[in-house]
Amino acid sequence: MSDKSMKAAFSIEQSQKLAIANAFGRAAQHYDKSAAFQRQVGQQLVALMPTQVQSSKSSVIDIGCGTGYFSHELHHQGFEVTAADLSAEMLLQAHQRCGNHCQYLQTDVENIAMADDSYDFAFSNLALQWCNDLSVPLRELQRVVRFDGVIFFTTLMDGSLNELKHAWSHIDNKQHVNAFKSQQHIEAEITQSGLMIETLECKSITVYYSTAMKLMRDLKGIGATHLQQQRSSGLIGRQTFIELEHAYDKYRLKNGLLPATYQVCFGVLKNA
């Protein structure tokens, strides 16, 4: 790749990161109202972590901490916590929740502004899917986590929100839902990082809505409306949302609710 091409690729990547940070920054103040799914997944990830003894605290970096929900949880479990996020607005919300119980770091997971061997553990709940190559943030986490330390993470996988994707396909050919990596792709990029897999479990997790519009509002509420892939621009009108409701209605269950299914990868990786 020529120097000019490399500079162009770097510029696009930086632009994407800024767009992601801005999307989550706009959602920061109201994020928690729409983040039930994120909390459900994160609680399962926290359950995989060791129980801490108050007299012997271990340090953990909560990367992609958002509003600090799990930074707060990890603190109360006895960890010394650094809440880290790309978005300054999210970190402000985290500070309001956690106060002086945590340290705060605005940083990019692909270039963490911390020295080598700074933490015993790393925790990342539903943040790494925004990286183009999973091995890049994992190598950074490997760098800042001490030898024999452990990285706990969740990320979304291929097949997430298929109901929504299929409903949109009946309306137009534009992309409205992010594409995520397959399990095989995730495993390959973990191997590239040099980390050792202790456990890697993939689960389907379904949340339920009375309308497709409420799902769309939650996605907007958590800032997940930024698409990494290109799409045609333009506002979505009221008639389009009526058509979306009609298309999504084919998935309605006997209890009257609409499913929104996510494919989630739970990873426990050792720095060995």
**In this structure, what are the phi and psi dihedrals at residue 176, rounded to the nearest 5 degrees?**
-120, -10
Q: Tell me, what's the pLDDT at 58? A: 94
The helix (run of H) or strand (run of E) holding residue 181 is none
Answer whether 229's CB lies under 8 Å from 175's CB: yes
Q: Which amino acid is located at 242 in the chain?
A: I
Q: Residue 264 forms beta bridges with which residues?
A: 156, 203
How many helices and strands, by DSSP H and E, does the chain display?
Answer: 9, 7
Q: Tell me, what's the pLDDT at 17? A: 81
pTM: 0.89
- Hey, which bits of 98-233 come out as E strands? 102-106, 119-125, 145-156, 196-209
Q: Tell me, what's the pLDDT at 173? A: 82
Q: What gap in Å lies between CA 134 and CA 153, rounded to an integer? A: 11
Surface-to-core class of residue 4, CB atoms within 10 Å of its CB (0-12 exposed, 13-18 middle, 19+ buried): exposed
Q: Give which of 197, 123, 185 is closest to 154, Cα–Cα.
A: 123
Token reading at 234: 């333009």
Distances (CA, A) of 209 to 127, 171, 255: 23, 20, 11
Token reading at 201: 């479990």
Residue bearing tokens 């058509």: 243
Q: What gap in Å lies between CA 162 and CA 157, rounded to an integer? A: 11
Token reading at 189: 């990029």
Q: Residue 265 forms beta bridges with which residues?
A: 155, 202
Q: What gap in Å lies between CA 113 and CA 161, rounded to an integer? A: 33
Q: Tell me, what's the pLDDT at 8? A: 37
Q: What gap in Å lies between CA 222 and CA 26, rounded to an integer? A: 9
Q: Tell me, what's the pLDDT at 228? A: 53
Q: Tell me, what's the pLDDT at 18? A: 81
Residue bearing tokens 């495993």: 187
**Mean pLDDT of successive 10-residue stretches along the chain, which has 272 residues:** 43 70 86 95 96 73 98 96 96 97 97 97 96 96 97 97 95 88 97 97 97 93 65 64 95 98 98 94
Token reading at 265: 């990868």
